[in-house]
Chains A and B, each alone.
Chain A
Amino acid sequence: MTSNINLKINGARYAFSVRDDETLLELLRTRVGLTGVKKACDAIGECGACTVLVGGRAIYSCLYPALRADGAEIVTIEGLAVDGGLNPIQESFLKLGAIQCGFCTPGMILSTQALLEENPEASVQDIHDALSGNLCRCTGYEKIIEAIMMAKQTYAKPVSRRG
């Protein structure tokens, strides 16, 4: 069985015919080619590498039926750039070396984006809370927290122009 859905992904409109059990993760990676959405634990919901924003809220795309997303606005790491440049969170991750292998990074940055949109004054505790669903096997998290604290300062106004 397949059904048709419409999505807005990183500002562009798409129409898909979707298999009933297709996840949003599968759709974004294999059909749109947005490989910044990572697949690691794959539908167990434990790693956060597949995090995307649906209507501005961070969700696990591996546990989200694509059909359920019909009509939704989705932002992936590919959609965060501002006028072709990096967004402040991406910039501070780079600057502070909060990236090693990089596999967790898109998810980390999107979780941060959702956090700072909701609460630009986020404390370290809020950051821990917001990132508890994103595993990193390389950095030990310290640099990531530092990068977010730094991004917070430059985060003057919401940057997800495509929201």
Chain B
Amino acid sequence: MIVTAAPPRSPRHALNDGDLRSLLLIRHFERALLRLFEQGVLSGTTHTCLGQEYIPVTLSALLRDDDFVFSNHRGHGHFLARHPDPHGLLAEIMGREGALCGGVGGSQHIYHRRFLSTGVQGESLPVATGVALKLAGTGALACAYIGDGTWGEGAVYEALNMASLWRVPLLVVVEHNGIAQSTPTSAQMAGTIAARAAAFGVRHHHVTSTDVGEIRDALAPLVDAVRAEPSPLVVEFATHRLGPHSKGDDTRPPEEIRRAQESDWYDRHAETDPERFARLDREQRELVERVVAEVSARPLSRPGGAA
């Protein structure tokens, strides 16, 4: 197991404009979603990745166009970091024209190019293993995002076993935010993810940093090995969920929520580089406002007519 350094107070690597834009796009997009829910404009449910945005943003530069990405219920960031198409995603969530999947899938069920999400936990890992089996030798990989709680599902283990046996290029990105819906990890997971990976002979890398550049540097050779060998890899991020599980359902004590918020990248980046941050922050906020206005004005979606 390789452990990266503890989070530095200020980022060691300066974020490039592209990464900062991506982080801010996701943040403002999801804040807008929560607002739209409050206004009663959205139906169903939504799971925001507030605080975890840096994970897919970090990964985006390590992934190739021919890689296949599997996402889950908390997938808006995974999508936007790979496909900066907030119009298509919002249209999907709102059931408007130009929706990625005609409005059929909604927030949790998206299939766009080589990005696929599903709302049933653990379901994606065997499928990702199958896709990786097909991709083996091409240099492309299958990347699957899962949460810590999803390690409760048996399918995760069945897939890891096969992925290791058959040496497939599978990158499992674990967003370990210490909680599953309302249940802390300590109450739903015995042992560790590292030991689980080890049991299957699968390489495991633990990330505690939130610094995009630093994490990327550490991950790049490991991801290259996934492609070249090929072989599966589990990358576990220690991260924090700032918001509720879905909406209005956060039963954590206030001090715990505050502790999670202290780890947020947003304020830290705002302090380090105030002028540039303020400019890009405004730019992305305004972009999202325009997207909301435009998409809200569109007619309702019809399946089959998707963008």
Partners in one complex: no
B residues touching A (Cβ–Cβ < 8 Å)? none
A residues touching B (Cβ–Cβ < 8 Å)? none
